[in-house]
Structure 1
Amino acid sequence: MEDEVAVHHRVPPYVLIAGPEQLLAERALAQTLDDLRVTQPDLETIRLDAAAYEPGELTLHASPSLFGGAKCIVVHDLDEAADDLQGDLLAALSVDPEPDLTLVVLHKSGTRGKKVLDTLRGSGARVIDAPAIRTDRDKADFAAHEFRRARRKATGEAVHALVEAVGKDLRELAAACQQLIDDTHGVIDEQVVLTYHGGKVEATGFRVADAALAGDTGEALRLLRHAIAVGVDPVPIVAVLAQQVRQLIKVGSAGRGRSADVARDVGMAPWQVDKARRALGGWSADALGRCVRAIAAADLEVKGGGRDPVYAVERVVLTITGEHARNSG
């Protein structure tokens, strides 16, 4: 068992953390430092920022100390590094690493520093990815992974509701996941999420869109007016309406097949495909096309082309529910 722990925590001389998602990069760096401290509790950590780098700094810090001791040099933002830092990194990588020295390099994206990246990979660096998390599917996968990592079961509906409530910012989403992990027991379902974040869920355009696309005029207007009352701007509400209608069109055009397969083909999460399929029963292609045109007109009005953004978003909600009623009738 001790050997297994040692292998798990052993960090190679070079570590590359690559990708634009800062939360994931920070976590990867923190885990790397924690792993180093398992066997080197007095580890000295030296941080070098590309923007403030002085020529020769890396060489100076990488030199063996008179007093010995383990060191970890962390180079932030290689993608912003000037030639001096890149040259010093390449020089450091051209010789055998000091036994008590670990070099960690962070690179967000782009081609700057490519030679250093290639050299790190060629030198056997541990590469930890920090990919961008932008789409709802990415955020749902992230939240689901947060619960799995904590050995907690969360339903797809709960993850969906949580992303709708706090998914705009990844750090807030991560904090919300941790709150539910810490403060609840058993299966995390949609009702648990609504208990903690119901106000935020109700105040988003997603609830408005769900009610509108279901043809529930009264509920759609109630949720819309509540959202406006608590300060939600009409612009993102119209954007969500557009997104939800586009998803119906994508799924409707994709034909039959497993939700996972369709989701992969259209760039959505499987639960989004299932939700769209349930909603499609009340819609025709022509009706959805008319909704797209109405939403485009509303988008122009809420972004400055009209006198009353609130009236514009109310009108498009009524248009959508009206189309649903005509199509269902």
Structure 2
Amino acid sequence: MKRRQSTQVNVGTVPLGGDANVSVQSMTNTDTADAVTTLAQIRALEAEGCEIVRVAIPRADALEGFERICAESPLPVVADIHFDHRLAIEATHRGAAKLRINPGNIGDMARVDAVIDTAGAAGIPIRIGVNAGSLAREYQDLDMPLAEKLAASAVSFCEHFESRGFSDIVVSAKASSVLTTIDTYRLLAAQVPYPLHIGVTEAGTAFSGTIKSAVGLGVLLEEGIGDTLRVSLTAPPEEEVRVAWEILAALDIRRRGPELVSCPTCGRCQVDLVPIASEVDRRLRALDVPIKVAVMGCVVNGPGEARDADVGVAAGKGVGLVFRHGEPVRKVPEAEIVDALFEEIDSLG
């Protein structure tokens, strides 16, 4: 996989673009005015591997909470601003590590310029975030595919920012359609030099949104496109982070914790594998070691997969043969499979 080369910006201590890792983001769903609750969610996101967090500032009375959040957050905090440029300016003064604005809904470009100049003086980047659902008016009625409209809008804003002497830019242009998202980012990758924040916006619930995000982001990442990502789910934000890491791991881009290999089960399976695999998956989430664990239900592929893993089990009739580094170490009853696997995992040190 050849990574697209871009300029690099820093969001607090986290670099985006250049030779930096593809980073994982999420967004809080708490009231930003409630700093205590928001900070608790940010710490929960950090525990799942989130590296940058975005919070909404929908009104002025959220700014005091935002300032405390920035001061106490373990993660760099991005201020998400729509419509009111004054909130973006004030968020910069209150400690934002980055701004996210859609210039198309800020209003008069003089207001956008005020935000650009404030961020430039503070030395923080701005994400130009263009969405299909809030496309600037001058692009809505153009006779061209939506992907071209989104890319053209984002490029025009980049050019305007450059004209102000500002190049500390991250770009996103999202749609809820997977194919439109892919086409848009391919166009952007060829037209702008800046880091790209990728995502399928409003992707859906945990089930459907995970599938759409995995397909769309997987295609882009495999093509080397994307410097940071958010998986947008109608679900707890911690779930967004878990899915993002699974996407990166599936492509061997980054791996935060264990990899679980488990079979889909069939008529040959002679143990109740689904609850076994689910419990192994749940307990593996507490680990951050990059090991491979296999939970296999029958003798067809089970021994081979178990031997290929750091720790694995190949099940027979009511029993499981436990492997460690490719060698069988013991046979245990079905009820003891999970505990036996984790005893071997613990012994790996």
After TM superposition, the score normalised by the length of structure 2 is 0.26
Q: Which has the higher helix share?
A: 1
RCO (CA 8 Å, sep 6+): is it higher in 1 or 2?
1
Which structure's CA Rg is the greater one?
Answer: 1
